[in-house]
Structure 1
Amino acid sequence: MRVLTFLHSFEPGGVERVALRLHRAWLAAGADARLVLGRTQGAMRSEWPDLDTLRADVFDSHGLPTAAWETLWMMLRLPGAIRRHQPDVLFCAGNSYTVVAVTMRLVLGRRCPPILAKISNDLTRADLPAPARPFYRMWLRIQGRLLDRLVGMAEPMRAELETLMQAPPAHVAIIDDPALEEAQIARLEALPRPAHDGKGRRFLAIGRLAAQKNFPLLLDAFARIARGQDRLTILGEGSARRALEAQARALGIADRVSLPGHVNPVSDALLAADALVLSSDYEGVPAVVPEALAAGLPVVATDCAVSMGDLLGRTETGQTTGPNTGPNTGEARFGLLVPVRDAAALAGAMDRIAEQPFDPRAARAQARRFTVEIAARRYLAEMEQLAHA
């Protein structure tokens, strides 16, 4: 199998980290996997120092900065890489890359290899302005027609893919999000959890400092329930840093909020926390949630994706179709779910998460669904089937 994966850079993000782990697993499984990169900058570069081992090609920009127009840069250079490597399958790592994949189909036509796309985000996008939604729905249908195989990251996503993208059932597959490695779970299980000093509750959030993650909502919620010794740590970096720091000062919680930037690994932070908090407006299957479960940590999350109930162990037979206040909100085996953009509900859940029943062993068993080892084999099987078809 000749598999070609394209990524913009090593900028930190769940899509990029998962794609790099899958690529490495495919190489280990004997696939002829190739990686092409728009540039080598990014905070995750230190995690992947050997580009030769990764079998990675980097598009030479001859000193021209491409970060501001990286999508166009990839569209311009990727056709040449496809012609050179002649892959059996083109792997599209997430929603942010589908515009590049669709462009390849239009530019190369019949010379374009089959495209397998991992759908990494919620498709309902209730956060979009009403005038933009018809155009977004049209874009989803275009993807459904031009991408050969769509992979959802949890079973509840299947209906979204078939309905919103109008993809035939045979073109849809479900593979649990490969957010973890078995060795990572074992390491988290073996590491001792630091003793609690009794000086307040320790909340942790992880993600890019960007609008999608809605950290302003989290700061608002924390300010409502924070007692003197409580602490909130937000790991990540992004364009919203200054605004978040200013908001924390305005709310009077700057001395209790820490923004240390991008941190890897996050195991120490997970083990030191009392709960993970996810405040996003929309997600697919956020990788940080399985990581928290692997660390034996309960989760407070907004109902930001159709998969959240399944991920946190909701047992109701009714499934939601996107972010809402329906049956996915409330108590779950591994945490609490609240409506999106509801600061009062998020604050209340954070305030009572310590009182909820929680079984760390069951949480780790849930996390083991989401390993690269399982997913890499299933992706290769889908790719073999797609290439032969």
Structure 2
Amino acid sequence: MKTFVRTSAPSGKPHVAFVLAGLRAGGSEHIVSLLCNHFSRLGWTVSLFAFEEPGTDPYYPHDPAVRVSQIGFPPGRLPLLQSASAMFQRVAALRNALGAAKPDLVVSFLTRINVISVLAAGPLDIPVIVSERNNPALQRPGVVWSALRRYAYARAYGLVTMTQGAMNQFPPSMRRRQWVIPNPTYAPIELDPHRTPGHTIVAVGRLVQQKGFDLLLKSFARVADHIPQWSLVIWGEGPERATLEAQRDALGLRDRVAMPGVTQEHGGWLRGADIFVLSSRFEGWGIVIGEAMAAGVPTISFNCQWGPGEMIVDNVSGILVPDGDVAAMGEAIAALCKDPERRAQLSQAARIASMRFRIDSILGQWEGAITDALAPAQPQAVPLKAAAA
């Protein structure tokens, strides 16, 4: 078994490299920005590698000391042979970048980037912590990538998931070391506590099937006539825009439902939000629930796997609706719209509940995992050349 010997950065402190697909808006991009800034403030050397073309502006701010490298080869769906070629190109590009940067540890995010990172870092004897951010029970990467994931995760230093349910989806051979670390919860913007209440229901996320905005439109359509003062705003962008707009119009909701795209201000979707709704079919965690709760916005969510049920105490700090139950979601929306006192109670309770996932605690958990991986003369889990177990 090979031994990894840490060589400190010139500052005498560790050098950690984070790897992810891109730097646009998203849950993984958000947590990576927080981690980069945290370790940079500790005086560590921090590198950030993204598989996107150079020149793309990051959505989330990074400390000026963070070394951001956009190494090209953006992800995309390709035919099998082209996809295999692209993967090897990404592995080679990342290996070259890591070889030049010489980090002590790599931390990667999302399945395919995790696989690429382990394959790239293995020959360099750099340990890798891989982080699954989605729902492995329902977001399966396909036969080829599943096999690659089994191979890579068995050779990673350890695995991070956001929920115990997600961790339990992986056999022991794929989680030789494991940490369940939820996303941090904080209000990205401060809302005026004395603002005049309005009548706006807000949802946010990529316009994809996973987020269930088609279910939300059906739910809202069932009760829209009973709450005529209320409107719905769905923030986000994605491939389902045209389909969702057509559904909205067919339901007669064109004047009641706005779809303004991606807010240019991080957390700007919270401004004017009187109720937040999460309609996802499944989640890895549901970071926007945490942001809404921390900001004191009353929250309704499908009790999907995983995340909402771990964040919300039903009818105390929010409202949980049976998974995928459109009728129940509509009833919950209408009832909360008609009850300002209950909205105020949920708002206060949500702020308190969100403290369980405060940012300093979550960053501390990440720091513990990363510090463990940086222990001197720490052996890698399994050398890449070893046969699969």
Q: State TM-score, norm by structure 2.
A: 0.79
**Which of 310, 318, 323 pairs up with 1:340?**
323
Contact 1:309 1:332 in 2 (8 A): no
Which structure has more helix as a fraction of its residues? 1
Decide which structure has the larger Cα Rg and report it.
2
Q: What secondary structure does 1:255 align onto?
A: coil
Q: Deviations over 1:219-275 (max 9, x none)?
A: 111111113322000111111111111111111001111111111436554252221
How many residues align? The count is: 349
Matches within 5 A, 1:105-124: 105-106=118-119, 108-124=121-137
Q: Which amino acid aligns with 1:121?
A: N
Which residue does 2:212 correspond to in 1?
Answer: 214
Structure 1: tracts of 5 or more residues without a match? 314-330
Contact 2:37 2:63 in 1 (8 A): no
Contact 2:119 2:152 in 1 (8 A): no
Aligned CA distance change for structure 1 residues 120 and 168 (closer, same or farther; 3 Å): closer
Matches within 5 A, 1:172-191: 172-180=178-186, 184=188, 187-188=190-191, 191=192
Deviation at 1:138, TM superposition (A): 6.1
Which residue does 1:286 correspond to in 2?
Answer: 286
Give, in whole Å, the separation in 1 of the partners of 2:351 and 2:118. Answer: 40
Aligned CA distance change for structure 1 residues 163 and 7 (closer, same or farther; 3 Å): closer
Structure 2: tracts of 5 or more residues without a match? 1-13, 78-82, 379-389
Query: What CA RMSD, in Å, does the superposition of the two structures yield over aligned residues?
Result: 3.1
Deviation at 1:108, TM superposition (A): 4.9
Give, in whole Å, the separation in 1 of the partners of 2:321 and 2:224. Answer: 18
Please say if 1:92 is aligned against 2:108.
yes
Of all paired residues, the percent bearing the same amino acid is: 27
Q: Which amino acid aligns with 2:184?
A: P
Contact 1:180 1:372 in 2 (8 A): yes
Aligned CA distance change for structure 1 residues 68 and 123 (closer, same or farther; 3 Å): closer
Q: What secondary structure does 2:133 align onto?
A: coil
Q: Which amino acid aligns with 2:332?
A: A
Q: State TM-score, norm by structure 1.
A: 0.79
Contact 2:108 2:131 in 1 (8 A): yes
Q: Deviations over 1:18-62 (max 9, x none)?
A: 2112111110111211111233679963643x7854321222x5x
Deviation at 1:2, TM superposition (A): 1.4
**Which of 333, 337, 352 pairs up with 1:365?**
352
Contact 1:151 1:173 in 2 (8 A): yes
Which residue does 1:270 correspond to in 2?
Answer: 270
Which residue does 1:148 correspond to in 2?
Answer: 157
Which residue does 2:261 correspond to in 1?
Answer: 261
Contact 2:33 2:60 in 1 (8 A): no
Give, in whole Å, the separation in 2 of the partners of 1:284 and 1:223. Answer: 28
**Which of 366, 370, 378 pairs up with 1:379?**
366
Q: Deviations over 1:199-233 (max 9, x none)?
A: xx421001111121121111111111113322000
Which residue does 1:82 correspond to in 2?
Answer: 98
Give, in whole Å, the separation in 1 of the partners of 2:329 and 2:336. Answer: 10
Matches within 5 A, 1:320-359: 331-354=314-337, 355=339, 356=342, 358-359=345-346
**Which of 59, 66, 76 pairs up with 1:54?**
66
Give, in whole Å, the separation in 1 of the partners of 2:185 and 2:95. Answer: 29
